[in-house]
A and B are shown apart, each in its own frame.
Chain A
Amino acid sequence: MMDAFLTAHKLSVTLAGREVLHDISLALPRQHLVALVGPNGAGKTTLLRALAGLLPARGAIHVGGDALSALSLRERAKRFGYLPQGHMVHWPLPARDIVALGRYPHGATDPARLSPTDEAAVERAMQATDVTQFSTRPATELSGGERSRVALARVLAVEAPVILADEPTAALDPRFQIEVMKNLRAAADSGILAIVVTHDLGLAARYADMVMVMQEGRLVAQGAPAEALSDEILANVFRVTAYRTGHEHRMIIVPWAGV
């Protein structure tokens, strides 16, 4: 395995008096797409937030060799592109302005005055997600799929070494689920570490280099898709059996029945 870029050592998180993450340790290299799976309430979103430093956690997180706790909010923001669930936009801002907010950590706080570097990053991100044609459309008038691509473009525009995406394919039709995963796959291939929370085991098996399985606040399995999504783990964690086959040298896995 390559050198780990993002590591967590004995990470625990307590929310409202309840410990929701227990002793999570991980070491993830760049140029990888990591799928984070687990039943509802397993703590996937909490883990993403803790890794991004968005909530207080015990234990140690290192990113690019630096302790997360020693980094300023702005330094953290440059290292993590964070895509939350639902990607809400509260005001009808033009799509391009939303993508341009991805340059905020780099000091480009006004979308109307971007430096050529920032402008180029915004352009690249919008082209990668195919949202250039929505530039001036208010985000609230876009369809769910269009809006989530704009949100992804905003995260790509940060050009951070790590992307943390919380269910980026939820509420998308099949074509855009594939588009979003392809975008994240391309980001990983270009050297980024992308951690993607998903409930879609098929997408996880098809696109991820590595799958991490969570259950009740613990990391119960991690490894290549075939190992981490074994029949035994599916039965114990998800309480399902799966139908497996292959296509174009990728594993296909379809949850089949409850156990």
Chain B
Amino acid sequence: MVTENAAAKRRTGTIIVMALLVVLLALISLGVGPVRMSPLKVLETLFGGGSDVYRVIVQEIRLPRTILAVAIGAILGLSGAALQGLLRNPLASPSLFGAPQAAAFGAVLVIALGLADVRSYALPGAAIIMAFLSVFALLVVAGRNAGLLILILAGLAISSLAGAATALAMNLSSNPFVALEIAFWLLGSLEDRSFRHVMLALPFITIGAIILMSQRNALRALSLGEETAQSLGVHVGSLRLIVILGVAFGVGGAVAGTIGFIGLIAPHLMRPLVGYDPARLLVPSALAGAALLLAADIAVRIIPSTSDIKVGVLTSLIGVPFFLYLIMRERRALGGGVG
């Protein structure tokens, strides 16, 4: 059919453009900092050209940060799209449901108790477990087919609980370095990341991405509702657990701390371009997430300020107004949820 081919072409075009945008932003990100470089200069340096100093700056200092921005942004966009598909709700996102806050609590607990070095696998491990528990608890509390209002309220409660638990951990820790490390986790930042962090994050992010991508067709069938999806042969119960697990791996593995709202915004930016099919939205959302986080991380380095702005703070500053806009747009549906 002609129009269907047109939709497929448009989607492929969108994916190519977004991928190019991510590459361009990555090159800009590698060139931004105390020593500024043009994208062309960055390209040359990346492939072994330029002076030794430039190579160290690009390859060892800035490359890990850029890789993490791409990977973390992508998994956040992917998680958001998958969660919106699972709950069949355009306002769903990991950050609204307290998952990053719970993940941060897991990490903070490990740091505060001195259980492990801040660069060990125990940190993302604890973060993943807490993120999984928080989303699982959310779905248990909210129940099947929960309306948006219930989900948001339960998410609010869970993120408040995680916040309070984190505050308690900070309160009880006597070591000022611990408090500093915790603050870093809570604000969300990509500063001073090394390849060690990349090695720490990438395995978990990759596993999370594979898990979420493997469920894409089941998410599409879920568009017809849980009962119909089940009648078509979808194990809805295990689908739910698998998606939560994927989101937990992604959010918990993101060693950059709490970076909110990318997962909410990315799918919305892509829907007008690639359509509403939850399965076909996953890859474009991941690319949009990567582009958003790269752009935000470039912005925090360009915006003149006396001290560093954390990238998690910036994404929230942009994300919350966007969320308010979405609420306004979905107001009628929300009102229906209350009645």
Answer whether residue A207 sits at the interface, using C-beta atoms and an 8 A cutoff. no
| Pairwise interchain contact B276-A104, C-beta atoms closer than 8 A | no
Which residues of the other chain, A, contact B223 by a CB distance below 8 angstroms?
Answer: 89-91, 93, 98, 101
Contact of B225 among A74, A84, A94 (CB under 8 A): A84
Q: Given A90-B225, A135-B1, A136-B3, are A101 and B232 neighbors across the interface (CB < 8 Å)?
A: yes
Min Cβ gap B151→A in Å is 14
* Chain B residues with CB under 8 A of A98: 223-224
Task: List residues of chain A with CB within 8 A of the CB of B7.
Answer: 94, 136
C-alpha gap A74/B230 in the complex (Å): 9
Whether A109 lies near B221 (C-beta < 8 A) is yes
Contacts of B221-264 to chain A: CB distance below 8 A: 221-225, 227-228, 230-235
Contact with B along A101-131 (1 / 0, CB 8 A): 1101100011110000000000000000000
Please indicate the chain A residues that have their CB under 8 angstroms from the CB of B88 in the complex: 90-91
| Complex-state Cα separation, A231 to B227, whole angstroms | 36
The CB with the most chain A CB atoms within 10 A, among B222, B231, B234, is that of B231
Chain A residues near B232: list those with CB within 8 A.
77, 101-102, 104-105, 158
Q: A91-B223, A112-B8 are in contact. Are A54 and B233 (CB under 8 A)?
A: no
Q: Given known contacts A84-B227, A90-B225, is B277 in contact with A77 (CB within 8 Å)?
A: no
Q: How far is the CA of A87 from the CA of B227 in the complex (A)?
A: 10
- A102 CA to B224 CA in the complex, in Å? 11
A52 at the B interface (CB under 8 A): yes
Asked whether any CB of chain B lies closer than 8 Å to the CB of A73, the reply is: yes
Task: Tell me, yes or no, whether A178 is within 8 Å of chain B by CB.
Answer: no
- CB–CB B276/A92 < 8 A: yes
Cross-interface CB contact of B235 among A73, A82, A84, A135, cutoff 8 Å: A73
Residues of B within 8 A of A158 (CB): 232
A97: interface (CB < 8 Å): yes
Interface assignment of B278: CB less than 8 Å from any CB of chain A: yes
* CB pair B227 A104 closer than 8 Å: no
Residue-wise, chain B 196-209 has the 8 Å CB interface mask toward A (1 for contact) of: 00000000000000
A238 CB within 8 Å of chain B: no
Please report which residues of chain A, range 50-89, place their CB below 8 angstroms from some CB of chain B when the two chains form the complex.
52, 54, 73-74, 76-78, 80, 82, 84, 87-89
The answer to whether residues A135 and B221 also contact, given A74-B233, A77-B231, A97-B277 and a CB cut-off of 8 A, is no
Residues on B facing A (Cβ under 8 Å): 1, 3-4, 7-8, 88, 217-218, 220-225, 227-228, 230-235, 275-280
Write out the residue numbers on chain A whose beta carbons fall within 8 Å of the beta carbon of B275: 93-94
Q: Which of B8, B221, B235 contacts A101 (CB 8 A)?
A: B221
Which residue numbers of A lie inside 8 Å of B, CB to CB? 49, 52, 54, 73-74, 76-78, 80, 82, 84, 87-94, 96-98, 101-102, 104-105, 109-112, 135-136, 138, 154, 158
User: Can you show 6 pairs from A to B with CB atoms below 8 A apart?
Assistant: A49-B227, A52-B231, A77-B231, A89-B224, A93-B223, A101-B224
CA distance in complex: A112, B217 (Å): 11
**Contact B230–A73 (Cβ < 8 Å):** yes
Question: B80 to nearest A CB, angstroms?
Answer: 15
Q: Are B228 and A84 in contact (CB under 8 A)?
A: yes
Tell whether A104 pairs with B233 under 8 Å between CB atoms, given A96-B4, A138-B276: yes
The reply to whether A73 and B3 contact each other, CB–CB distance below 8 Å, is no
One of A82, A89, A96, A112 near B231 (C-beta < 8 A): A82
Q: Once bound together, how far apart are the Cα atoms of A205 and B275, in whole Å? A: 44
What residues on B are CB-neighbors of A92 within 8 Å?
276
Give Cα A229 to B230, complex, Å.
34
Given A110-B217, A136-B4, A54 contacting B278 (CB threshold 8 A): no
* 14 further interface pairs, Cβ-Cβ under 8 Å (given A96-B4, A109-B220, A136-B1): A73-B233, A78-B233, A80-B231, A84-B228, A84-B231, A90-B223, A91-B223, A91-B278, A98-B224, A101-B223, A101-B224, A102-B232, A104-B221, A138-B276
- Chain A residue numbers with a CB within 8 Å of B234 are 73, 104
Given contacts A84-B225, A101-B221, A110-B217, contact A91 B276 (CB under 8 A): yes
Residue of B nearest to A52 (CB): B231
User: Roughly how many angstroms separate A97 CA and B277 CA in the complex, as a whole number?
Assistant: 9
Give the shortest distance, in Å, between A25 (CB) and chain B (any CB).
23
Residue of B nearest to A72 (CB): B233
Bound-state CA distance A78–B279 (Å) is 22
CA of A54 to CA of B237 in the docked complex: distance in angstroms? Answer: 12
A58 to B278, CA, bound (A): 36
Closest CB in chain B relative to A47 CB, distance in Å = 15
CA distance A90 to B232 in the complex (A): 16
Asked if residues A91 and B277 are in contact (CB atoms below 8 Å), the reply is yes
A96–B232 alpha-carbon span in the complex (Å): 16
Q: Which 10 A-B pairs have the closest CB atoms?
A: A77-B233, A109-B217, A82-B231, A90-B88, A91-B276, A74-B233, A104-B232, A136-B3, A105-B233, A91-B223
CA distance A102 to B231 in the complex (A): 10
Q: Tell which of A52, A94, A135, A154 has the most Cβ of chain B within 10 Å.
A: A94
Q: What distance in Å separates the Cβ of B37 from its nearest Cβ neighbour in chain A? A: 42
Kindly list chain B residues whose C-beta atoms are within 8 Å of the C-beta of A73. Answer: 230, 233-235
Using A110-B279, A136-B4 as known contacts, say yes or no to A88 and B230 having CB atoms under 8 A apart. no
Q: CA of A145 to CA of B330 in the docked complex: distance in angstroms?
A: 25
Chain B residues, Cβ within 8 Å of A111 = 220
Most chain A beta-carbon contacts within 10 A, residue among B88, B225, B227, B279 = B227
The complex places the Cα of A94 from the Cα of B217 at a distance, in Å, of 15
